[in-house]
Structure 1
Amino acid sequence: MKPLSIVPFVSGKLQSNSYVVSDEESFCVVIDPGEESTELLTYIGDRKVDYILLTHGHYDHIGGVATLKEKTDASVAIHYAEAEYLSDPVLNLSSESGKPVVCEWPDILLNGGELVQCGKFSVKVIHTPGHSPGSICYLLNDHYLFSGDTLLAGLVGPTNLPSGNRELLKASVKEKLYSLNDDVEVYPGHGEATKIGAEKKDNLFPNIKAFF
């Protein structure tokens, strides 16, 4: 089995992270293609992309979905509670950015708890509402967590947005993410990578700070 490759790309005013995850052999997925996807698309080239996995439906995480979908015809997956966000600039907050984001209806609607097979690797879907109703995290092979805006290094995503809920976010992090092994690597929607153990030690409730 070839080693896993996780390549980050940072885009947009909010410096959102996108990730191309592959073993260069059996699978390739893109997580949260952001607003400016040129560099990401160049990196992908002609390789086959199996899935476009979305952690939630805010514009800074879905801005590149339409272009990537057109190029690769990869299946787009998002939590069912935010399927409408893809085609609604008010829900995905892009109406306030001056560049409305509109994507097609997703191919896969997730609930949380699913296990998605990616080549020789498995991805567990964890529903973590709070930053948004359909926020989800993807746990790859029980060791790599793509956390979107649920958990960042030393921070959490904001809940002072439409449909945000601070208490739900706290419960999601404490009950679903902090129960993971300390050595699980966390790849967030903004900022640097971290580990669950480090966040349990330093990213403390109730005085936890939000990203913005």
Structure 2
Amino acid sequence: MNQLIIRAFPLGELQTNCYVVTDVEGTFCIVIDPGEEPNDVIEYIGNKKVDFIFLTHCHHDHIAGLNTVKKYTNAPVVTHHLEAEWLLQPSLNLSDNHENPIISDWPDILLSGEEMLKCGFSMMKVIHTPGHSPGSVSYLLENYLFSGDTLLNGFIGPTEIPYGNRDLIKKSIKETLFQLDESIEVYPGHGKSTTIGNEKKYNLLPNLKIFHS
């Protein structure tokens, strides 16, 4: 198993986790969910070549720094095809009432789910986990799952938002994420990391709690 280096940057008012992931050999570097004011992220990246910018979904707090990071790295942006248009529409990414509505370019790589993308010596598996939003995806790299706002430490992401679906997020967790090995470490969109085993034990369906951002 390839040894990974995972650096979390809680960004913006909602403390949305942006992750920069590399390996000890330096064979790849990826950014996941570049949120608001990503200056520390860019400083950490330095002169590393970034292979991909992965988006777990396209809500404003997960893409607020996308234009800045994309301009700095020129890395391809990867997101689910159901939310590609959200990058262009503030009304969809929920930034239309903000002082600076977010408008980004059309993504470079569109996903459907189950794709495998090469990251150095490892393969990133795309898992479609709708519910928090229609195009929410989780990314599995080695023994690490980047779950966005689907599964959080002790909570699930909110669904009382436009295009949210509580039944669907519970299905994504129970029938998909909870089928993964219990040892897998979960790096969520907000809060601290956890494991699949811990969430199966303490965040049991059907009484999953909602994270209110």
- TM-score over 0.5 for the pair: yes
Stretch deviating more after TM superposition (199-208 or 107-116)? 199-208
Aligned to 1:4: 4
Q: What does 1:119-158 correspond to in 2, within 5 Å?
A: 119-141=120-142, 143-158=143-158
- Find out whether 1:99 has 2:82 as its counterpart: no
Q: What does 1:1-212 correspond to in 2, within 5 Å?
A: 3-24=3-24, 25-141=26-142, 143-212=143-212
Measure, in 1, the Cα distance between the counterparts of 2:155 and 2:99.
Answer: 27
CA displacement 1:149-179 (0-9 Å, x = unmatched): 0000000000001000000000000000000
Measure, in 1, the Cα distance between the counterparts of 2:15 and 2:111.
Answer: 26
Stretch deviating more after TM superposition (74-83 or 86-95)? 86-95
Deviating runs (4+, > 4 A) in structure 1?
A: none
Measure, in 1, the Cα distance between the counterparts of 2:2 and 2:11.
Answer: 28
User: Are residues 39 and 202 of structure 1, via their aligned partners in 2, closer, same or farther at CA, if it must alter by over 3 Å?
Assistant: same
Measure, in 1, the Cα distance between the counterparts of 2:99 and 2:166.
Answer: 27
1:97 Cα deviation after fit:
2.8
User: Are residues 201 and 132 of structure 1, via their aligned partners in 2, closer, same or farther at CA, if it must alter by over 3 Å?
Assistant: same
In structure 1, the gaps of 5 or more residues are none
Stretch deviating more after TM superposition (171-180 or 16-25)? 16-25
Secondary structure in structure 1 of the residue aligned to 2:87? helix
CA RMSD of aligned residues (A): 1.0
Secondary structure in structure 2 of the residue aligned to 1:18? strand
Measure, in 2, the Cα distance between the counterparts of 1:87 and 1:47.
Answer: 28
CA displacement 1:119-153 (0-9 Å, x = unmatched): 10111000000000000000002x10000000000
Letter in 1 for 2:96: S
Measure, in 2, the Cα distance between the counterparts of 1:190 and 1:180.
Answer: 21
Letter in 2 for 1:198: N
CA displacement 1:67-104 (0-9 Å, x = unmatched): 11111110000000000111111100011232211111
Letter in 1 for 2:193: A
Instruction: Tell me if structure 1 keeps the 8 A contact 2:89–2:103.
Output: yes
Measure, in 2, the Cα distance between the counterparts of 1:98 and 1:204.
Answer: 39
1:2 Cα deviation after fit:
6.6
Letter in 1 for 2:199: E
Letter in 1 for 2:22: S
Measure, in 1, the Cα distance between the counterparts of 2:161 and 2:203.
Answer: 21
Question: Percent identity over the alignment?
Answer: 57
How many residues align? The count is 211
Q: What TM-score do you get using the length of structure 1 for normalisation?
A: 0.97
Q: What TM-score do you get using the length of structure 2 for normalisation?
A: 0.97
